[in-house]
Amino acid sequence: MDETIGYEHAASKLAVRSGLTRRMLVASGLLALIIATAFAVLLSSVADLRTSERRARQSEQVLVVANRLERLVVDLESAQRGFVITSQKRFLQPWRDAQVAFPDQASNLQQLVADNPEQQVRAQRITQRITSYLLDYSIPLVISAEQDPAAARSEAATDEGRRRIEAIRTEFDQFVATEQQLAAARERRSDVAATRAIIAATAGLAGSILLIVLFAGYLTRAIVRPVREAAAMAGRLAQGDLSVRIPERGIAEIGLLQRSFNTMAESLQQSRTELAASRTRIVAAGDQARRQIERNLHDGIQQRLVSLVLDLRSAEAAVPRELSEVRAQLAEMAESLTGALNDLRELSRGIHPAILSDGGLSPALKALARRSAVPVQLDIDVQQRPPEPIEVAAYYVAAEALANTAKHARASIAHVKLQAHSDRLQLSIRDDGEGGATTDGGSGLVGLTDRVEALGGTILVDSPPGQGTRLDIDVPIGLGSMSPSS
């Protein structure tokens, strides 16, 4: 038997390894063969296209550098003219900056056209004309303007500068026009190479596209669709629906994934069931302990305190009237002991009110409303007592909500509505206070939320600022767990 199970397990692993993997390898091999053939045909065309592209980028760089160099000349001429006209030193800084940048730009231009003798000669001629403009005209003119502004503004100096600038611009125009013609020729060669590449690739691409379409259809049916189903299942699991399952009809690894998802869902569902049962037991144990403490206080120390108060009252009555101080001390002790007894009763009521155990939720809410510092309007529709854990949870939610209303809400009235049906208990507490309440930041509602959720219920707080607060709980009631209302 063990050998049979081991054989089946090994066969399952082998089927997984040889399922999608083998299909993927075959399809990938065919696709690689077609693409490799297409690329082999395209290599020569691509090489031509790269060469043309490289030369086109070079032409673009040449034009950019030529444009920068021409702008430097414009900056030189503009700054120089501004200084000559206004004699303001601020024009000299851009003039000097242009002189500093000129050698690098000129050298860069000559390097870019080094493979074209015709353009290299023009670049050298441009460099020479700009150098001559600087050394023979611009720098002497600036020095002259510093010494004799009137002489620098003479018509002869102005005409010479205009003539030199026009000669430089003419050289630039010829250089740029030639480079643009070269770029156009290179672009035409690039278009021819691209056309050859397109024609050569058509057959290979057609075969590749056909194989890809077929392969994509297979992947959609065998992988994408099952994965989408698994993703949808994961989304429903994340939303809390642990009963969802997916059909286990996938092949190889996909089938294994589907089985794993279903196994995970079953495990999560079992864990949540166990967790809910554990939380319910913890809440029930806590309530039982609170009831026991309340009974111990009521049957023990409360009764002893009551007996002591009665004894003090008897002793006070037995003291002669002439011993007024003794009578007053006994009366004061009886009053203090009565106050302590009232405090103990209040504490006992907070731990677990006896009226909740004896009378049920309806009388307990009525007593809670009578003690509230804020007027409470009750609307109770309960025909049968719900199970004790649900009663306790509803009572403490109402107590906490009314306490928060009295402490923080500045409300004029609170409304408590309780409805218990055969399968659900619904409790709503709302006020007309300031709003802005939250279950975060250590609020007492955090523990009550855990209590309600442990019973499979929900608790919602709606408290927009300035519009009051509304708290609703909805707890399922198990059929057959109802008892007659007291």
Give the whole-number percent of the chain exceeding pLDDT 90: 5
- CB-CB contact of 343 with 382 (8 Å): no
pLDDT at 198 over 50: yes
Looking at residue 431, its pLDDT comes to 93
Which helix (H) or strand (E) is 74 found in, with range? helix 20-86
**What is the three-class DSSP state of 158?**
helix
Full set of structural domains in the chain with CATH: 2-230 (no CATH), 358-486 (3.30.565.10)
> Per mean pLDDT, which range of 73-77, 129-133, 298-302, 462-466 is the poorest?
298-302
CA dist., res. 106 & res. 126, Å (int): 8
- CB-CB contact of 179 with 67 (8 Å): no
Average pLDDT on 131-154 reads: 79
Q: What is the largest CA-CA distance in the chain?
A: 139
Rounded to 5°, angle at Cα 470 from 469 and 471: 125
> Per mean pLDDT, which range of 88-102, 134-148, 440-454 is the poorest?
440-454
Identity of residue 297: L
Average pLDDT on 444-468 reads: 82
Mean pLDDT of the chain: 76
Comparing C-alpha atoms, which of 238, 439, 235, 232 is closest to residue 246? 232
* pTM of this structure: 0.43
Sheet of 414-420, strand order:
376-382, 414-420, 424-431, 469-476, 458-462
Comparing C-alpha atoms, which of 233, 238, 269 is closest to residue 248? 233
- pLDDT range class, residue 107, cuts 50, 70, 90: confident
CA dist., res. 390 & res. 444, Å (int): 18
CA distances from 88 to 100, 140, 209 (A): 20, 17, 71
Looking at residue 3, its pLDDT comes to 46
For residue 91, what is the DSSP state? Answer: G
Looking at residue 378, its pLDDT comes to 92
Looking at residue 143, its pLDDT comes to 83
Average pLDDT on 319-325 reads: 76
- pLDDT range class, residue 233, cuts 50, 70, 90: confident
> Per mean pLDDT, which range of 225-239, 271-285, 321-335, 456-470 is the poorest?
271-285
Phi-psi domain of 435 (left: phi exceeds 0; alpha: psi -120 through 50; beta: other): left
Residue found under tokens 């002869």: 156
**Overall size of the chain counted in residues:** 486
Residue with the larger pLDDT of the pair 239 and 170 = 170
- CB-CB contact of 457 with 366 (8 Å): no
CA dist., res. 181 & res. 122, Å (int): 15
Looking at residue 254, its pLDDT comes to 72
φ and ψ of 424, to 5 deg: -145, 150
